[in-house]
């Protein structure tokens, strides 16, 4: 890695009050040897995570900064932040297995990074349940969230590298962890979890990934998205949360592609709110969209799909023939990631030859499905962690 880059990022990391240290013991700050700062998964800073940002009944909790391959360019290293949270008490023989947690949409501004904010009640309940199952949590913020550079929202390579390198970092520096991994994600993170499973055999073959659990996971092709937007943007339709997600998709593209023209994607009515998307977290952006009376019908230009086509290309998975089984959870009342997109993922993964166990939950929305899926994902996890066969389910019936 070029020394000028290190000179640039190390003072920045110090200014965020992160202690450069190994994870095993040292709470005191010290500089990491430059010779070691060379490969994906190298930790360049760590510090205790504040109790308010951790999980109930957790043991040690840390916020780390590690190096990951730049997912935007596919080469070079960039700093990424993550949390490592282990259950209370002594580690079991061999160490705690890992849940590599991929978070849902929070925004693309650095202030939105999950490691800088308390967990929502939903995620606190969900991740605490995984800890009670005996897993440590390794939770990346993704490249560009809380660290320099743009967050390429929904870019599968960016997300996959961030997830996989966070696990590498944790395993290399925390002796209480075990190379036995479940990749788990929701919404944006559901797609990120599938992306990590898709990239892992080539990018991180040393990781012992046992299975993937994805709820509310988007699968977007131009055809699927075009049909969905056409149906959802009829005159008279009201606010749809998809408008905020396409704002983030476009803002992430604008941050890395100088050729993107927002006015080709959004109407004059929508542009003022769109221009705030790069700096507003999801709750605030959604409120602004509602206050402005934005709908898909009055916000998107006829040339929208063409304008954001580079971002749609970056959302593709390298393969959907996954090496390990995939669990999916979809709520019938999901308006954030409509069931058509989620079941499109199931159909494509099944067609590719993956072992998919899909579940559809009657009456549950995008958020409710997360914890509503816990009993089914517990049975799935027990099976894959113990090497038992998983019953495929490619045509799920709402339950």
Contact 87, 115 (CB under 8 A): no
Contact 71, 145 (CB under 8 A): no
Q: Quickly state the pLDDT bin for 227 (edges 50, 70, 90).
A: confident
- What mean pLDDT do residues 210-239 have? 85
Q: Between the CA atoms of 159, 165, 166 and 167, what dihedral angle is there, to the nearest 10 degrees?
A: 120
What is the spatial distance between Cα 208 and Cα 249, in angstroms, rounded to a whole number? 32
Q: Which of 21-30, 37-46, 350-359 has the highest mean pLDDT?
A: 350-359
What is the per-residue pLDDT for 222?
79
User: Taking 80 as the threshold, does the pLDDT of residue 363 lie above it?
Assistant: yes
Helices (H), 255-338: 271-276, 282-291, 296-299, 304-307, 309-314
Range from 128-137, 226-235, 269-278 carrying the lowest mean pLDDT: 226-235
- Residue reference for tokens 């003072």: 11
CA distances (Å), 363 to each of 64, 216, 259, 330, in order?
A: 39, 14, 42, 10
Which long-range contacts does 386-390 make (Cβ < 8 Å, 24+ apart)?
A: 390/211, 390/325, 390/355, 390/357
- What mean pLDDT do residues 249-272 have? 97
Taken in order of first residue, the domains within the chain and their CATH numbers are: 3-219+316-385 (3.40.50.1820), 222-313 (no CATH)
Range from 5-9, 151-155, 194-198, 355-359 carrying the lowest mean pLDDT: 5-9
- The pTM of this model reads 0.91
User: Taking 70 as the threshold, does the pLDDT of residue 5 lie above it?
Assistant: no
Residues in the chain, how many? 399
Count of Cβ atoms closer than 10 Å to residue 121 Cβ: 9
Q: Quickly state the pLDDT bin for 37 (edges 50, 70, 90).
A: low
Q: Quickly state the pLDDT bin for 398 (edges 50, 70, 90).
A: very high
- pLDDT tens track for 48-85: 999 999 999 899 999 999 999 999 999 999 999 999 99
- Alpha carbons within 13 A on the beta-carbon side of 204: 28
């Amino acid at each position: 890695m070029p020394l000028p880059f290190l000179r640039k990022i190390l003072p920045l990391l110090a200014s965020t009050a992160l202690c450069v240290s190994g994870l095993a013991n040292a709470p005191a700050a010290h500089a990491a040897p430059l010779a070691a700062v060379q490969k994906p998964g190298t930790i360049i800073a760590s510090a205790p995570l504040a109790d308010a940002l951790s999980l109930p009944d957790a043991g040690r909790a840390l916020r780390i900064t590690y190096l990951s391959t730049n997912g935007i360019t596919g080469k070079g290293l960039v700093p990424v932040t993550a949390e490592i949270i282990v259950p209370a008490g002594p580690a079991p023989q061999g160490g705690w297995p890992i849940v590599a947690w991929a978070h849902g949409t929070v925004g693309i501004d650095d202030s939105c990074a999950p490691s800088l904010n308390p967990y929502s009640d939903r995620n606190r309940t969900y991740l605490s349940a995984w800890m009670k199952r005996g897993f440590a949590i390794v939770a990346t913020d993704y490249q560009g969230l809380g660290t320099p550079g743009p967050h390429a929202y929904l870019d599968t390579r960016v997300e996959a590298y961030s997830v996989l390198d966070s696990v590498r970092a944790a395993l290399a520096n925390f002796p209480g962890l075990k190379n036995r991994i479940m990749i788990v994600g929701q919404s944006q993170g559901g797609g990120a979890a599938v992306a990590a499973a898709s990239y892992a055999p080539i990018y991180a073959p040393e990781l012992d990934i046992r299975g993937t659990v994805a709820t509310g996971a988007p699968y977007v092709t131009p055809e699927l998205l075009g049909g969905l937007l056409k149906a959802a943007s009829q005159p008279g339709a009201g606010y749809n949360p998809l408008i905020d997600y396409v704002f983030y998709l476009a803002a992430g593209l604008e941050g890395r592609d100088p050729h993107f023209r927002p006015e080709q994607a959004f109407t004059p009515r929508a542009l003022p709110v769109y221009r705030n998307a790069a700096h507003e977290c999801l709750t605030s952006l959604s409120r602004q969209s509602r206050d402005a009376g934005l709908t898909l019908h009055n916000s998107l230009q006829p040339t929208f799909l063409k304008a954001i086509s580079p971002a749609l290309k970056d959302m593709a998975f390298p393969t959907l023939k996954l090496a390990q089984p995939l669990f999916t959870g979809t709520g019938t009342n999901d308006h954030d990631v409509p069931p058509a997109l989620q079941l499109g993922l199931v159909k494509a993964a099944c067609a590719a030859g993956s072992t998919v166990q899909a579940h559809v939950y009657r009456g549950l929305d995008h958020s409710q499905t997360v914890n509503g899926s816990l009993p089914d994902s517990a049975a799935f996890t027990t099976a894959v962690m113990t090497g038992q066969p998983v019953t495929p389910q490619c045509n799920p019936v709402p339950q």
